[in-house]
Copies of this chain bind each other. A is one copy, B any other.
Amino acid sequence: SASQDLDLGILETVMGQLDASRIRENLRELSREPHLSSTPRDEELVQLLLQRWRDAESGLDSAETFEYEVLLSLPSQEQPNSVTVVDPTGNILFSCRRSEENVTGEQEGPDVVPPYAAYAPPGTPQGLLVYANQGSEEDFKELQNRGIRLEGTIALTRYGGVGRGAKAVNAAKHGVAGVLVYTDPSDINDGQSSPSQTFPYSWGLPPSGVERGSYLEYFGDPLTPYLPANPSSFRLDPANASGFPPIPAQPIGFEDAKVLLCNLQGASAPETWQGALGCEYRLGPGFRSDGNFSADSQVNVSVHNRLELRNSSNVLGIIRGAVEPDRYVLYGNHRDSWVHGAVDPSSGTAVLLEVTRALGTLLKKGTWRPRRSVIFGSWGAEEFGLIGSTEFTEEFFSKLQERTVAYINVDISVFANVSLRAQGTPPIQSVVFTAAKQIPAPGRSSLSIYDNWIQYSNRSSPVYGLVPSLGTLGAGSDYAPFIHFLGISSMDLAYTYDRSKTSARIYPTYHTAFDTFGYVDNFVDPGFSSHQAVSRVVGNVLLRLSDSLFLPLNVSDYSETLRSFLQAAQQDLGALLEQHSISLGPLVAAVDKFEGAAAALDERISELQKGTPDPLQVRMLNDQLMLLERSFLNSRAFPEERYYSHVLWAPRTGSVATFPGLANACSAAMNTAPGSAAWAEVQRQLSIVVAAVEAAAATLRPVADL
């Protein structure tokens, strides 16, 4: 019936049926073999998903694949990439490993892709080695300021600080010829670096472990920006495509990095550049004469990556809504991994399959059908740059934008087994909180997930007091095209670390051949209770979004964000803006208007909920809630930032937590003359934000007002 609402009995049933051991079995199967995007095993997993989602007893209404032809970057099998130290006569003094050490029998074999930097161009640069810390702009400037000649060098950098591709971009600006990237034990292992202290003896990264990854600057298939990568689609000539690293790059393990770094000559690196390799880090250029190599030895980086058009599939499964089939709740994760990908992404896919099994079972029994449609996505080629999900949003741009209530992403479902971590836009905070309060925390059965969470990560909200911290959404997983390109309220859910116990950048075997089922089973989440907890949170949030008569999107939680962005702008940019006669007054007025409209809408919802509201009234109100996020989109705000259209969540440089367009424009204008084009851009960005906030307020006002 048109008044179908959330059934708490069904919710309880689903919570009860989500099963840790089934998730464990899913994970075992999913991570049994490496399943790099578009390989035969990836295709086998496509079939596995189809089979599960088409199962007569526990499947969905329908499931199908959507194949795209996308540009991947793969290392050459014939010509392996290499990193060597060579003396002036060309003798090889040292070679970095070409693959990880086979410590569990799973690190070898034809399907284990050797470590490489996807999309780094082929080339064989050779030069003196320098150490460039994290490869940030400041890092290279620091080297330059110290008079170190960077032209023609090979820069050794460590992961962290800036994105992978940015290290190569920054390096190339200074004439660096090639980039090496390694993971320092201080950044991943809390300093531990010996084989006996690392996997398989702990969750630590073994010395030979190498983080693979995409070095693309943009997300989505690089040859088809803004168009779905169908076989017939227009493709850029790769020579005209943008976003590839400008110079060859190669990742290495810390075992090899140590040999290179601990033999460098030159001045000591700054304190903050030091790491846990057990030597003093020096800057170079070149090796010290009393070390393993002669002082005139150079480092040779040979990269033979190749760009290839490959077929990559998304699998989409649908449960048709009973009442409002044209309203979609989306829930997805990528399927492709770098190697076995037990944590990334299979811990998420194992949860996804358990959630669809539990819901599918109720569906096939006839016990339940959601009010709204639910669409499940298994995305391809995420590791290469969120490609499958981006192509999906490009192909179905209009209808997804018009009809989607929210997007739930669970990529890595369990980083560690300590606390929930949620990222998302403000409207989803309340539904995540509600779900988290309803579910016991794994291993702490007297506490709810919420009560546990607030102990590990919290903030003081001016509205609610102490609450768990909801993180913001960058572009780290497939939610990016949904929030930034389509303006759909999105979230990313996972279990994570106790940050007082580890400072690891991410779980240690991330993107290495050590991210295996045994790793998860023994170290990440023995017993799989955290996986189960995540499946329950997701299931709970999903059911609330799909089944509640009134959408559980609390749009007035945007008021707090807007207010805090505004205050940051006033405090940190206000004086500067005033100097240039730019007033924040219109922005203050717009935020006030938003706050008023949101509060009034909350009132109206409360009023309506007291009676038996007319289905059309509820629909109209829900449309306001659903479409609020869309009102913050401006496809012309950031023409240089591919896909980023959300005026509040576009990438922000600088430390002021405020409107990104305004912050970035201020940074760029800071040292220019009054009246410069950069200052005009500040005013333009301010007007864009004002217009967006005004439009958001207009969306929330009573619908027959302008």
User: How distant is the Cα of A447 from the Cα of B323 in the complex, in angstroms?
Assistant: 47
**Contact residue among B230, B318, B616 (Cβ-Cβ distance under 8 Å from A323):** B616
By Cβ-Cβ distance, the 7 closest A-B pairs, closest first, are: A326-B703, A234-B687, A320-B704, A232-B586, A325-B704, A398-B631, A234-B683
* Contact between B316 and A706, CB atoms less than 8 A apart: yes
B706 touches A227 (CB 8 A): no
Given contacts A631-B398, A706-B318, contact A232 B403 (CB under 8 A): no
What are 26 pairs between A and B in contact, CB < 8 Å? A2-B614, A2-B615, A64-B706, A66-B706, A227-B684, A227-B691, A230-B690, A232-B583, A232-B586, A232-B690, A234-B683, A234-B687, A325-B702, A325-B703, A326-B703, A326-B704, A373-B704, A396-B706, A398-B627, A398-B630, A398-B698, A402-B623, A402-B630, A403-B703, A619-B619, A635-B636
Q: If A61-B704, A583-B232, A683-B234 touch, does A620 touch B691 (CB 8 Å cutoff)?
A: no
Contact: B234 with A680, CB < 8 Å? yes
**A contact residues, total (Cβ < 8 Å):** 65
B375 touches A706 (CB 8 A): yes
Does the CB pair A686–B234 fall under 8 Å?
Answer: yes
Indicate whether A585 sits within 8 Å of B616 (C-beta atoms), given known contacts A227-B688, A691-B227: no
Asked if A228 is at the interface (CB within 8 A of a chain B CB), the reply is yes
Is A395 in the interface zone, CB < 8 Å from B? yes
Q: Are A399 and B616 in contact (CB under 8 A)?
A: no
Of A323, A402, A633, A694, most B-chain CB atoms within 10 Å: A402
| A698-B402 Cα distance, complex, nearest whole Å | 12
List of B residues within 8 angstroms of A525 by Cβ: none
Contact A318 B616, CB 8 Å, known A227-B691, A680-B237: no
CB-defined interface of A301-335 with B at 8 Å, one 1/0 digit per residue?
00000000000000010101101111000000000
Chain B residues positioned under 8 Å from A316 (CB to CB) = 706
- Chain B contacts for A398, CB-based, 8 A: 627, 630-631, 633, 695, 698-699
Contact flags A357-381 to B (C-beta < 8 A → 1, else 0): 0000000000000000101000000
Task: Kindly identify, within residues 565 to 623 of chain A, every residue whose CB is under 8 Å from any CB belonging to chain B.
Answer: 583, 585-586, 614-616, 619-620, 623
B-contact bits for A621-660, CB 8 A (1 contact / 0 none)? 0011001001101111000000000000000000000000
Q: Does A226 contact B (CB under 8 A)?
A: yes
CA–CA, A321 to B684, complex, Å? 36
Residue from the set A227, A234, A321 with the largest chain B CB neighbour count within 10 Å:
A234
Q: Which residues of A contact B (CB under 8 A)?
A: 2, 61, 64, 66, 226-228, 230, 232-234, 236-237, 316, 318, 320-321, 323-326, 373, 375, 394-399, 402-403, 583, 585-586, 614-616, 619-620, 623-624, 627, 630-631, 633-636, 680, 683-684, 686-688, 690-691, 694-695, 698-699, 702-706
Among candidates B326, B630, B694, B705, residue contacting A623 with C-beta atoms closer than 8 Å: B326
Please determine whether B695 and A396 come into contact, CB atoms closer than 8 angstroms.
Answer: yes
In the complex, are the beta carbons of B2 and A616 less than 8 A apart?
A: yes
Output the nearest chain B residue to A397 by Cβ-Cβ distance. B695
Shortest CB-to-CB span from A638 to chain B, Å, is 13
A399 contacts across to B, CB distance below 8 A = 631, 695, 698-699
Contact of A616 among B228, B396, B615, B636 (CB under 8 A): B615
Bound-state Cα–Cα, A2 to B620, Å: 13
Whether B227 lies near A687 (C-beta < 8 A) is yes
Contact across chains for B586 and A230 when beta carbons are under 8 A apart: yes
Considering only CB atoms, which chain B residue lies closest to A620 in the complex? B326
Q: Are A616 and B706 in contact (CB under 8 A)?
A: no
A76 to B683, CA, bound (A): 31
- CA distance in complex: A687, B234 (Å): 6
In the complex, chain B residues whose CB is within 8 Å of the CB of A397: 695
Q: Which residue on B lies nearest to A687, using beta carbons?
A: B234
B395:A694 contact, CB within 8 angstroms: yes
Cα A64 to Cα B705 with chains together (Å): 10
Q: A631-B398, A704-B321 are in contact. Are A234 and B616 (CB under 8 A)?
A: no
Nearest Cβ on chain B to A396's Cβ, whole angstroms: 6
Most buried by B among A316, A398, A635, A702: A398
Q: Return chain B residues, CB-CB under 8 Å to A230.
A: 586, 690
Q: A497 to nearest B CB, angstroms? A: 37
List residues of chain B with CB within 8 A of the CB of A703: 325-326, 373, 403
- Complex: A394 Cα to B316 Cα, angstroms: 36
* Closest B residue by C-beta to A319: B704
